[in-house]
Structure 1
């Protein structure tokens, strides 16, 4: 059984939920306090033991490539001013085995993964979506890699969501729990309405695939939104080889929508050494002010 060494990070989406900010700025470069969201994903891959990462980007995404490239002028300036900690932070984003592939047209997540076929070859690999940031003692990507060591099969991460939210996700129809937290899956449904959802176990943005997923993608017709849906290809793959679902129980941040992104910034801001004290004071003061405004006025 081959070792999982490679990761695909799709980053070619148009970012329409964050317009107008994303008209010229890559959505993946929106910061969580002072670090772009895509850097958190790359760091998770590295902590999990991934050696090579390909980022599938598109037009107006040059800022992602620049972020992970060296900046000699900036580094020289920081060095001359003895800003050693900032210099270290800047240099942490370089020296990785990062590669970039352009997805010419926004044809969906499945098409973005298929674009990386030549880079992956015949190896198992992980797919990591930038809209989902996760926190757990063992990184979620590493959890999937550990499951692959047990099963040798494609495995995707799922998490329980409120039933009324199933239309936002791909959802699994589990058949049995083969190991604690690991499910055989009967079929996969892309964004079902709550009354048609087979479960509350929704696919979140981490997948581990055997290379046979590429053949499944090549034989999957376009689906919802006239796009090549990765969930449809997974369902196709599941008809020829087992695909498992690993239930994730750690912390997940959905940074793919405005409220989730703001919520994540607040939580991370309350931990950041440069902002936590001021932000906590501001929130407490704002809370008292809003509470006072809500009180009925005395006559």
Structure 2
């Protein structure tokens, strides 16, 4: 019987140093993209893809994430007393989104280690990994596209985007062969941050993964990699020795909200799409002398 993807893991224990000083006291995952924390975009994407449980890997100083998705009795009571029905509905919608579970990563030891921390909550079933920094605007949720591929092929799926030119050196890049679906690649290997002439393809890995539970036992015995951290890509390379792994070039626009410039661009794009502020914001942008 084919197994379904029911759980999604969100690694959220990083320090967010690229956004200091804002992230000295606020988790980077709670930085607002327009008026919503970036992690909420990923959670909503997972729900729209049919995920039933969200597992968030947190660390020291990340309690604001748990508070955000929890019930706030005092806030709700105040909004109700003041007749702020729309804001009350927004607040309650956040706390009623989905079943969430949390696991603590006591020290930041890499993405592979963060994923390994979720092993007991995931169990023996395939699962998704969503990096909150990557906010994806897509007509069909990116994770839903990937789950459709997994349902058909029953192998791990890595989200990719086509990157041209020197920028490819900032990514892990897939090496593989085309599959029947033009958006799918049969992965043979991957190269981390290659020089442009050495890149095996233009398919750069971004922050969405569907992985089989085999990855956990492989991560347990994977040596520490760059920076003394446990790298998820090292575990996936070992997974390739025994299982099929596929790359999937999703249909959508990826915003790197873990980068200051990327966050600014995402804010503009999402604000312009908003019915309540898009027209006014567009007129403001037109008025600027650049």
- In structure 2, the residue matched to 1:191 is 193
- In structure 2, the residue matched to 1:278 is 280
CA contact (8 A) 1:158 1:247 kept: yes
Q: Deviations over 1:106-125 (max 9, x none)?
A: 11101000000001110110
In 1, Cα distance between the equivalents of 2:180 and 2:241?
A: 18
Q: Per the alignment, do residues 138 and 273 of structure 1 end up closer, same or farther by CA in structure 2, a change over 3 Å counting?
A: closer
In 2, Cα distance between the equivalents of 1:84 and 1:119?
A: 36
1:21 is aligned to 2:22: yes
SS in 1 for 2:64: helix
In 1, Cα distance between the equivalents of 2:40 and 2:253?
A: 18
The normalised TM-score by structure 2 is: 0.96
CA contact (8 A) 2:142 2:251 kept: no
1:247 is aligned to 2:249: yes
- In structure 2, the residue matched to 1:58 is 59
Q: Deviations over 1:21-42 (max 9, x none)?
A: 1111100001011100000000
The normalised TM-score by structure 1 is: 0.93
Match runs of 1:98-247 below 5 Å: 98-247=100-249
SS in 2 for 1:92: helix
Match runs of 1:32-71 below 5 Å: 32-71=33-72
Larger Rg: 1
- In structure 2, the residue matched to 1:296 is none
In 2, Cα distance between the equivalents of 1:173 and 1:13?
A: 28
1:166 shift after superposition: 1.9
Q: How many residues align?
A: 288
In 2, Cα distance between the equivalents of 1:54 and 1:7?
A: 6
1:193 shift after superposition: 2.5
Q: Deviations over 1:112-167 (max 9, x none)?
A: 00000001110110001111111222211111111111111111111101231122
Aligned-residue CA RMSD (Å): 1.3
SS in 2 for 1:88: helix
1:78 is aligned to 2:74: no
In 1, Cα distance between the equivalents of 2:75 and 2:275?
A: 23
73-82 or 173-182: bigger deviation: 173-182
Q: Deviations over 1:82-107 (max 9, x none)?
A: 21111111111113200111111111
24-33 or 218-227: bigger deviation: 218-227
Moved over 6 A (4+): none
In 1, Cα distance between the equivalents of 2:180 and 2:233?
A: 22
SS in 1 for 2:273: coil
- In structure 2, the residue matched to 1:297 is none
CA contact (8 A) 1:56 1:101 kept: yes
